[in-house]
Chain A
Amino acid sequence: AQKVTQAQTEISVVEKEDVTLDCVYETRDTTYYLFWYKQPPSGELVFLIRRNSFDEQNEISGRYSWNFQKSTSSFNFTITASQVVDSAVYFCALSGVIQGAQKLVFGQGTRLTINP
Chain B
Amino acid sequence: DVKVTQSSRYLVKRTGEKVFLECVQDMDHENMFWYRQDPGLGLRLIYFSYDVKMKEKGDIPEGYSVSREKKERFSLILESASTNQTSMYLCASRDSGTPNEQFFGPGTRLTVL
Chain A contacts to B: CB under 8 angstroms: 4, 6, 9, 33, 35, 37, 42-47, 50, 52, 91, 93, 95, 97-104, 106-109
Interface residues on B, range: 20 to 34
Chain B contacts to A: CB under 8 angstroms: 9, 30-31, 33, 35, 40-45, 48-51, 54, 56, 58, 88, 90, 92, 94, 96, 98-107, 109
Given A108-B41, A108-B42, A109-B42, is A100 in contact with B107 using a C-beta cutoff of 8 Å?
no
User: In the complex, what residues of B have CB within 8 A of residue A42's CB?
Assistant: 106
Say how far B80's CB is from chain A's closest CB, in angstroms.
26
A103 to B96, CA, bound (A): 11
Say how far B27's CB is from chain A's closest CB, in angstroms.
14
Is B96 a contact partner of A99 (Cβ separation < 8 A)? no
Q: Which of B31, B42, B54 contacts A106 (CB 8 A)?
A: B42
